[in-house]
Amino acid sequence: MKKDMRIITSAAGLAAALALSAGAAAAQECTTKIGAVLPTSVDWGRPIAETAQFVVDQVNEAGGVAGCTIEMVLRDSQVDPKVGVDAAKALVDLDGVQVLLGAVSSGVSMPILTSVTVPSDVLQMSCCSSSTAFTKLAQEGKTNGLFFRTFATTGVQAAVGAKVARDQGYKSVAILYKNDDWGQDLQALVTRDLEALGITVTSSTAINDAQPSFRAEVTSALSGNPDALYLGLYPNEGTAAVREWLSLGGTQNMIMANALKSDEFRDNVGLQYLGNALGTDTASPRVASADDFVTAYEAKFGSAPNGPGLANSYDATMIALLAMEAAGKDATGDQIASQITRVTDPAGTPITADSAGFAQARDILAGGGSVMYQGATGNVRFDANGDVSAPAVVWKYTEDSVEEVEYLSLTEVDDFIASLN
């Protein structure tokens, strides 16, 4: 009996392998392009793009999408709205993509959405844009159901940042924020949440790109003698602003948005000056699929996924490709977008986030069924505005990475936000 079972198991494994091989062979007969506009010229952006490509490779191993090999055409946004829009236009107009991954910064994603993807009926799936301006745009019916993001809105980070200030006993906080859609949104929300907790915001100062010096802005922020500094910045301007802040005698008590979860920022400022700095970020839930992603990532890249947006990039790419599979060959962006709910269906068949899961999904979708995608950030659920909710973490820098200080479950996050309101 045991021998028979081994034969059956081996036969089943061989059949699965042959099916994957046949699918892959069929996929070589045609190629479908998808676009990605991601900040590959910055150290924290490259892993986000590499993670997206990892998904594409897994899907191609499973036979591609709708019988075709997927080619991800990647363009660097340089975290610059104009560069990002030009890149997106080239991908849509020249490469003919119906799916666009990106961008990372809300200030880049928003003009791409309004001037490129919505007018062209292209699905835009962002791993890392968190501004609540996208929610408002969707509520006004101006996204045409074409925008989804696997990263929770800025409201989560703002609330958790305010919680950190309260827990650390800070009575006053100055804010430095990037002068774009993301930074402006974050500044408004964290100001509201700090004040709801009785914490004084002594100043709120915008930081613009490419300035030779931030001395005037930092001097203004220092004038109120705050207990702590809140940083809603990216690594380049964050490094320059914090160096200026420290050189002028500013406190080392800092609260950082997730964009500063960067080796570049830590190394350029110096770990010795960041001992009192705490960061916030959204997090994957404590579920098996999130652990499986970490294991697969480590096997692929040789290190843990410690940078910002990596799990979100994985899920954004896999969900977009599943929706393409559900929509069928030569589907348009709006047709692909309409299938997102079918591949993230709470009542659907659970599938894993890997080659085998994609192959399983293909069969289920072909038979008219739906699937429940279980990914790097758990069982992803989009609301009517294309938004997701997520747990959160508080973190600090270590010599070669970051370390989790506190984990807040989705329920804890939602309860804390409700208490602020």
Contact 59, 324 (CB under 8 A): no
Q: pLDDT tens digits for 60-105?
A: 999 999 999 999 999 999 999 999 999 999 999 999 999 999 999 8
Q: By CB neighbour count within 10 A (0-12 exposed, 13-18 middle, 19+ buried), where does 113 fall?
A: buried
**CA-to-CA distance for 130 and 182, rounded, in angstroms?**
7
Q: Where exactly are the structural domains of the chain?
A: 2-151+309-379, 155-281+392-420
pLDDT band at 210 (very low <50, low <70, confident <90, very high): confident
Domains 2-151+309-379 and 155-281+392-420 share a fold: yes
- In Å, what is the CA distance from 372 to each residue of 322, 346, 360, 379? 11, 6, 11, 7
CATH architecture of 155-281+392-420: 3-Layer(aba) Sandwich (3.40)
Structure tokens at 226: 């705050």
What is the distance between the alpha carbons of residues 401 and 4, in angstroms, rounded to a whole number? 50
**Helix (H, G, I), strand (E, B), or coil: what is residue 368?**
coil
pLDDT of 21 above 70? no
Q: What is the DSSP string of 206-243?
A: EE-TT-S--HHHHHHHHTT--SEEEEE--HHHHHHHHH
Sign of the Cα pseudo-torsion (63, 66, 67, 73, in order): negative
- Check if the beta carbon of residue 420 is closer than 8 Å to that of residue 159: yes
**Model confidence pLDDT, tens digit, residues 131-162:** 999 999 999 999 999 999 999 999 999 999 99
The CATH number for 2-151+309-379, chosen from 3.40.50.2300, 3.20.80.10, 3.40.720.10, 3.40.50.200, is: 3.40.50.2300
Predicted pLDDT of residue 43: 87
Beta strands in 272-413 (DSSP E): 277-282, 349-351, 371-375, 378-379, 392-397, 402-408
Q: How far apart are the C-alpha atoms of 276 and 298, rounded to whole Å? A: 29
Q: What percent of the chain has pLDDT over 90?
A: 87
Q: pLDDT digits over 175-209, tens only?
A: 999 998 899 999 999 999 999 999 999 999 999 98
Contact by Cβ (8 Å): 380, 389: no
